[in-house]
Structure 1
Amino acid sequence: MKMRKRRINKLLLTGLLLFIITGCSTTKHLPEDELLYIGTPTPKIVGYNEADNGEATLEEVQGALNVAPNNSFFGSPNLRIPFPLGLWVYNRFERYEKGIGKWIFKKLAADPIYVSTVNPDTRTKVASNVLRENGFFQGNVTVQVDTAKNPKKAKLNYTIYTGQRYKLDSVTYVGFSPKEDSLIHATYSKRLLIKEDAFTVNKLDEERNRLVELFRNNGYYFYRPDFITFMADTLIRPGYVNLRVVQKHNIPEEGLRTYYIGKTSINLVGHNGEQPNDSLNFHNFTINYAGKKPGIRYGVLRRRFLYKSGEMYSQQRQNYTQQALSRLGVFKYNDFNYTPRPGRDTLDITVNAMFDLPYDSELELNVTTKSTKQTGPGAKFNLSKKNFKRMGASLNLELKGSYEWQTSSTVDGESSVMNSYELGAALSLNFPRLVLPWIRNRVDPFRFPSETNFKIYAEQVNRARYFKMLSFGGTVSYSFQPKRSIKHTVTPIHLAFNTLQHRTARFDSIANANPMLFHSLDDQFIPSLTYTVTYDNSYRKKKNRVWWENSLTSAGNVTSVIYAAFGQKFSKKEKELLGNPFAQFLKYSSEVRYTYHISEKQQLATRLMGGVIWAYGNKTIAPYSEQFYVGGANSIRAFTVRSIGPGRFHPANNSGYSYVDETGDIKLEANLEYRFRIFSNFMGGNLNGAAFLDAGNVWLMRKDEARPGAEFNLRHFFDSIALGTGVGIRYDLSFLILRLDFGFALHVPYDTEKSGYYNIPKFKDGMGIHFAIGYPF
């Protein structure tokens, strides 16, 4: 019966393909007055001089000309896939108004792109304007419609003539008042129009905006960009532009007046819309609130306003104030309104702010399963209390857990099922400012995003039949963002304690055979400090995004210095803290992500990460909790967490301790993921697809006789890299992304008794399925 069904399905599929191919003409239903657009070859460039540095302009010009034809290869304007399935389906099934034909048309057909819809004449005008706006005043773009090969199909051949690029000669500022002129000359080094630079309209706009920002930061509240215009002369010196930056004559009186800050009134509306019924006033600063007392402390709110009554108005201080209020995280919105006093140079400020809901929660779920008899779910729950004790801080509770079991009915020859779990809880208090005594009365830190986080946590790991370990500790960390692209995080205090609560005889036997493993898990304090710097250019809304993070951790060294100060030798081993030895190590990690946007619906995401940890002095084995590992939903997705490495080592199936020994001191990992849109507006979101390639491993710094091949070795480096590929789907609701990945192993670094690079004994043995929230990177 099954064989018969398969034959029927094959016949139906074959018949459908033949039916489509028989209508493979791509111009069969083409309107008489239309031409099918089949691409744009690389435009011909005439008169260009490389010394003009106009490559960016030419790219912009070609961007205005390029349009992807039907069956384009990755959005290319001139490379096409040779089988235009979408057009074939369009021509064969266009006439169907219902039934299976209509469904096939809706799902697979691609509307033909006509030359008329590309509109080459308009594109040449736009491209010519781009040339002139970038100093190529003699430039123009022409187009030829090429129908030589087929009278119903056309290519668009463009010719770009650039001519000479004009440069700036003299730049003068005319018509400004003496006070404005003094501001211009005081910031003359920051001007954007400089002699010998290429002329561009964008630079004119940027300089105009710079002047407006300069004036508005110095009291000119009503100053606007349209108060400034430009006059250019290209006849005085050939190839050059004499430019005059001119302030118009018909500017309203208030536009030329400088203003000062008067009174500030803040209307605090409750999260349910409760209107203010009482007020609190100090020194021209009034808080109108609902209830018995303000919903936020007076000092917390006042310090976010980076000005005082009587100070000159500044656009920059207004922006910083609004950002500081937003970073409190307690308001849905804050709206500033400025009212000039009649006949005076004073601005009164009214701020309307509405409180957000007091609580916020988030639940993350993930499921990991692998055909090598390991599977289990995980969950993380976060609950936040905003504006804790009216301090503008948030109190956060995090609960997380995961459970893992063997799906086989026997494990190591026994009928019972091996279950393991991890549980964790953390309580943190987060302030949107630096909580340091020496900056208590300063306002400068509020100009930039900054945070202080106090956290205590506890985690328990249970590896059935082996051990149960408890970890607990606390941290104090500070983060500061002096630039929008740079973030610094310092954790001066991180005190952790690991203790083995329970050990089995089986674990002891393994520990005797592998002392390095045992010492990484024994009871110890981990006093450390960490510095992390992160670069992120996403705020610029560039086509391509770069994210790079570097982190350095030092553990036990400050404690050793304190020991030395009290007369104990710095090099003494087995130094103790509260009766237990403490760890000493240096740890460095780096991760860089690059996302290339092919088009609005296609991206290529890459990640490269690595790390190294060196333990010495008091403890020459790094704590197990600090070691590196690979595998899992956000790593090499063909493998589960901690199932690869270190190096070329892999425990035998009957060794029983693969749960605890597949970590290392060195880590390298690389990921490549192609993301594409499958369906838009699919059940309220977008359905996206992905194809990925993951590689990496971990290694030991020192040789371990119990784990042969685990140390880092350049000779076997490439063979020791685990490689996996796969596909995935993502359901993107903008506020939530559900992800399902199917990973397939291509190579494992250990011996599987199968020759060749693809050394997976059975396909199902190298298959991993991961369900998670959010993108992997």
Structure 2
Amino acid sequence: MKKLNYKTLLTGLMPALILASCSTTKHLAEGEVLYVGTPTPKITNYEKSKTGESTLEEVMGAINVAPNNSFFGSPKSRWPFPFGLWIYNRFERYDKGIGKWIFNKLAADPVYISTVNPDTRSKVATNLLKDYGYFNGNVTYTVDTLKNPKKAKLNYTVNFGHGYLLDSVMYAGFDARCDSLIQANKDETMLHKDDPFNVNTLNQERERLVELFKNNGYYFYRSEFITFLADTIMKPGYVNLKIAQQPNVPKNALRTYHIGNTTVNLIGQNGEQPTDSIKFRHFQVNYAGKKPGVRFGVLRRRFLYRNGEIFSQQKQNYSQQALSRLGIFKFNEFRYNPKGDTDTLDITINAMFDLPYDSELELNVKTKSTKQTGPGAVFKLSKKNFKRMGASLNLELNGSYEWQTSSTVDGESSVMNSYELGAALSLNFPRLVLPWQQNRMNAFRFPSQTDFKIYASQVNRARYFKMLSFGGEVTYNFQRRRGLKHTVTPVHLAFNMLQRRTAEFNAIASQNPMLFHSLDDQFIPSFSYTLTYDNTYKQKRNRLWWENSLTSAGNVTSMIYAAFGQSFKKQEKKLLGNPFAQFVKYSTEFRYLFNISEKQQIATRVMGGVIWAYGNKTIAPYSEQFYVGGANSIRAFTIRSIGPGRFRPASSTNYSYVDETGDIKLEANIEYRFRMLSNFLGGNLNGAVFLDAGNVWLMRKDEARPGAEFTLNRFFDSIATGTGFGIRYDLSFLILRLDFGIALHVPYDTEKKGYYNIPNFKDGMGIHFAIGYPF
């Protein structure tokens, strides 16, 4: 394709813009009518209830269709400028060249009444009413043409009629063992007398019965073997329901099976077929090479059944999931083979090894308001199946280097620069590793993992200090219920050591002791618990995500001191020669993603946190304090460049280089995301418009930082706000993001009055390049 000439492009677009006042129906296909929306339907005989609300939502989903230039996917509200239709009418005739390119990229095909197909939609909506028990309800429509006969609206009427309730529920036609299983588990039934009739509930009850049978040996039992018979005549307004087994069900479906032999075929990452085997009783592993690619015991423990047990679909599912969570196989396939005409099922598993290593490299450039700039990098390397244990060994290296962009610092020449270096090594097990014996079923039936981690980092701030931080932790993650994740860190030990302090640093510390005590040598022994809720598994239209975290540091250590006769409130208690931190920290983050359509979403986030240091250390460690700003926060500002409160260190002060952090954090974000171009260079090009707000504050008053503490006085003035827009290039497996933030308000006083108090527009801009969405 020839390189596009932008003058030609603009020249081609101008006629489309001129046609803003012209007809959007000039080039409609013969006999077609342009669909321009659906007003709010007329709803009759509607009684508000949980069933009624669900039914109405389903019906509205069936009849509502967004017209051209819809306002956020609304079926009735539209933008006043149908740009896509203008482009369609102007460039529809082009078969090649720039006109064809403009048409393909910017035109919107007209939405016709015929493509909306209201007749079919009204029938589907009527059937939905019947599915929810509104047997005498119906949905009708009229086509209302406008002044222009080539445009029309669709007006729907939804008549709910009367909702039917369940009266009696009977199970019939099942053999003696199946019937006994039904009766033994009748408390779990989905169907109850006086409940609203609902086809979805009937299907759920059918799946419950099938699952019940398959977990008790009926391997070949299927959903289609169960039918429903409904009588609406015997009692007006009620349904007498019979759940029956179909006649002529295959004999093998009514037969209970037991587990026989299990064979695992381990296939090499390049397709190498097994050449040797190892067997213990009824469990055999076939493998290529000198020994199995994973230890025999690691494999065996993932299979939550034993030879001779009655077949259970639930145990089979748990076993397959536990095998997948090892993370070492590209796929694993379970095959069940009846042994002749017996009641025995032999199981064969084909599992192919994945690549042994994963690696990731991230590059970034940091620019700070203190005129420091420089590159940074993060390199991650993972070795899967470490020592054939099914665990992964992970190494992370990170570093950044910053140099002064001005020739002097505080009036002095500076040739010394700042840097940060860090390394972390972790061992991850896809199960709970606990010192006591676990029940094998509980250990592997739900997602869980254990992380053992050690790390070290060094920070060098030019002309001020050099700090070494190191430590380790043990973390458990488990998910006993879908959508609810628990993260427990029973042991986290961190050491902060100030290796070097300059005379200039000491002079600054004497002026601002609260700020610089957070950098003192200290030991941080902590415990934390995090609870995360995510409703993605429900496959709802909108996603809700909520995380709450609580951390306690130094309290267990203080209790040990108290047990040996020392006061719990004693100051400067030490462990391993360092005073240890004592604090409680709580943080919460709530996200809600509203999907307007496949191409439009509104993403929101509200987050906050508070940390209270007391006892042994009344100033929270610097590494635990909160901050705002940056690519994933308030994008109009660089990271750690706002707050605390309404305080702002003057650029001329000695401690202006220190990152701005606090004990309290509040932040809120809203972002409208929309599709710009589909299938653009192998991916989708998306846009976003956002609004960010927030700040951090101190819990205690600091004389050296006036206005930094949290108060209700001028609270809203102390909230920094910024807006902006961004571009996202979505390759499905990778999202590249470029955001342009524009500051609207800073919490400190400036030379400008009013809410928009940014002295210079160019100084209130932030540009961020990142990977992934900000939230």
Give the structure-2-normalised TM-score: 0.96
Counterpart residue identity of residue 71, structure 1? N
Q: CA deviation at 1:50?
A: 3.2
Tell me, yes or no, if the aligned pair for 1:651 and 1:657 is still in contact at 8 Å. Answer: yes
Higher mean C-alpha deviation, range 461-470 or range 576-585? 461-470
Distance 1:372 1:32, change over 3 A: farther
Counterpart residue identity of residue 205, structure 1? N
**Among 556, 577, 590, which residue is 2:575 paired with?**
577
Alignment of 1:243-254 (within 5 A): 243-254=241-252
Matched residue SS, 1:57: helix
CA distance in 2: counterparts of 1:625 and 1:15, whole angstroms = 54
Counterpart residue identity of residue 610, structure 2? V
CA distance in 1: counterparts of 2:674 and 2:445, whole angstroms = 39
Counterpart residue identity of residue 340, structure 1? P
Alignment of 1:341-420 (within 5 A): 341-369=339-367, 373-416=371-414, 419-420=417-418
Identity %: 76
Point out where structure 2 has 5 or more consecutive residues left out of the alignment.
1-5
**Among 418, 421, 444, which residue is 2:419 paired with?**
421
Aligned equivalent of 1:469: 467
Q: CA deviation at 1:506?
A: 2.1
Q: CA deviation at 1:496?
A: 0.5
Q: CA deviation at 1:367?
A: 3.3
Aligned equivalent of 1:460: 458
Aligned equivalent of 1:587: 585
Tell me, yes or no, if the aligned pair for 1:368 and 1:769 is still in contact at 8 Å. Answer: no
Matched residue SS, 1:532: strand
| Deviations 1:505-535 (CA, angstroms, capped at 9, x unpaired) | 2221110100112211011111111111111
| Deviations 1:630-667 (CA, angstroms, capped at 9, x unpaired) | 11111111111111111111100111423325111111
Q: CA deviation at 1:53?
A: 4.1
Aligned equivalent of 2:429: 431
CA distance in 1: counterparts of 2:742 and 2:285, whole angstroms = 61
| Deviations 1:153-198 (CA, angstroms, capped at 9, x unpaired) | 1111111122111111101000111111111111111111111111
Alignment of 1:680-695 (within 5 A): 680-695=678-693
Matched residue SS, 1:324: helix
Aligned equivalent of 1:36: 34
Matched residue SS, 1:165: coil
Aligned equivalent of 1:5: none
Aligned equivalent of 1:621: 619
CA distance in 2: counterparts of 1:23 and 1:760, whole angstroms = 39
Q: CA deviation at 1:22?
A: 7.2
CA distance in 2: counterparts of 1:80 and 1:598, whole angstroms = 14
Structure 2 residue 527 is matched with structure 1 residue 523: no
Distance 1:407 1:728, change over 3 A: farther
Considering Cα pairs closer than 8 Å and 6+ residues apart, tell me whether 1 or 2 has the greater RCO. Answer: 1
Q: CA deviation at 1:227?
A: 0.5
Matched residue SS, 2:436: helix
CA distance in 2: counterparts of 1:35 and 1:760, whole angstroms = 51
Q: CA deviation at 1:13?
A: 6.9
Aligned equivalent of 1:205: 203
Alignment of 1:68-147 (within 5 A): 68-147=66-145
Q: CA deviation at 1:373?
A: 4.0
CA distance in 1: counterparts of 2:384 and 2:365, whole angstroms = 30
| Deviations 1:722-756 (CA, angstroms, capped at 9, x unpaired) | 11111111111111111111111111111112111
Counterpart residue identity of residue 500, structure 1? L
Structure 2 residue 338 is matched with structure 1 residue 321: no
Tell me, yes or no, if the aligned pair for 2:471 and 2:494 is still in contact at 8 Å. Answer: yes
Counterpart residue identity of residue 394, structure 2? N
CA distance in 2: counterparts of 1:106 and 1:388, whole angstroms = 51
Q: CA deviation at 1:148?
A: 4.1
Matched residue SS, 1:27: coil
Structure 2 residue 748 is matched with structure 1 residue 750: yes
Q: CA deviation at 1:66?
A: 1.1
Q: CA deviation at 1:368?
A: 4.1
CA distance in 2: counterparts of 1:19 and 1:599, whole angstroms = 27
Q: CA deviation at 1:332?
A: 0.9
Higher mean C-alpha deviation, range 402-411 or range 561-570? 402-411
Aligned equivalent of 1:505: 503
Alignment of 1:182-193 (within 5 A): 182-193=180-191
Tell me, yes or no, if the aligned pair for 1:366 and 1:773 is still in contact at 8 Å. Answer: no
Matched residue SS, 1:589: strand
Structure 2 residue 174 is matched with structure 1 residue 157: no
Matched residue SS, 1:658: coil
Give the structure-1-normalised TM-score: 0.96
CA distance in 1: counterparts of 2:687 and 2:16, whole angstroms = 28
| Deviations 1:472-512 (CA, angstroms, capped at 9, x unpaired) | 00001111111121111111111110011222222211101
| Deviations 1:253-311 (CA, angstroms, capped at 9, x unpaired) | 11001111011111111112221111111120111111111111111111100000011
Tell me, yes or no, if the aligned pair for 1:531 and 1:553 is still in contact at 8 Å. Answer: yes
Matched residue SS, 1:527: strand
Tell me, yes or no, if the aligned pair for 2:629 and 2:642 is still in contact at 8 Å. Answer: yes
Matched residue SS, 1:351: strand
Q: May I ask how many residue pairs the two structures share in their alignment?
A: 770
Distance 1:429 1:15, change over 3 A: closer
Distance 1:418 1:39, change over 3 A: farther
| Deviations 1:356-398 (CA, angstroms, capped at 9, x unpaired) | 1111111223334478745443322110011111111100001
CA distance in 2: counterparts of 1:248 and 1:756, whole angstroms = 76
Distance 1:108 1:52, change over 3 A: closer
CA distance in 1: counterparts of 2:688 and 2:28, whole angstroms = 35
Distance 1:51 1:286, change over 3 A: closer
CA distance in 2: counterparts of 1:733 and 1:635, whole angstroms = 23
Distance 1:232 1:441, change over 3 A: closer
Query: Aligned-residue CA RMSD in angstroms?
Result: 2.0
Aligned equivalent of 1:445: 443
Tell me, yes or no, if the aligned pair for 1:754 and 1:760 is still in contact at 8 Å. Answer: yes
Tell me, yes or no, if the aligned pair for 2:693 and 2:720 is still in contact at 8 Å. Answer: yes
Matched residue SS, 2:102: helix
Point out where structure 1 has 5 or more consecutive residues left out of the alignment.
1-7
CA distance in 1: counterparts of 2:368 and 2:612, whole angstroms = 32
Matched residue SS, 1:438: coil
Aligned equivalent of 2:478: 480
Q: CA deviation at 1:94?
A: 2.2
Aligned equivalent of 2:281: 283
Q: CA deviation at 1:38?
A: 1.0
Counterpart residue identity of residue 533, structure 2? Y
CA distance in 2: counterparts of 1:160 and 1:105, whole angstroms = 39
Aligned equivalent of 1:716: 714
Aligned equivalent of 2:3: none
Distance 1:557 1:107, change over 3 A: same
CA distance in 2: counterparts of 1:368 and 1:758, whole angstroms = 26
CA distance in 1: counterparts of 2:17 and 2:456, whole angstroms = 65
Higher mean C-alpha deviation, range 632-641 or range 375-384? 375-384
Matched residue SS, 2:601: strand
Matched residue SS, 1:709: coil
Counterpart residue identity of residue 525, structure 1? F
Matched residue SS, 2:606: strand
Aligned equivalent of 1:3: none
Matched residue SS, 2:525: strand
**Among 159, 174, 177, which residue is 1:176 paired with?**
174
Distance 1:12 1:471, change over 3 A: closer
Higher mean C-alpha deviation, range 475-484 or range 30-39? 30-39
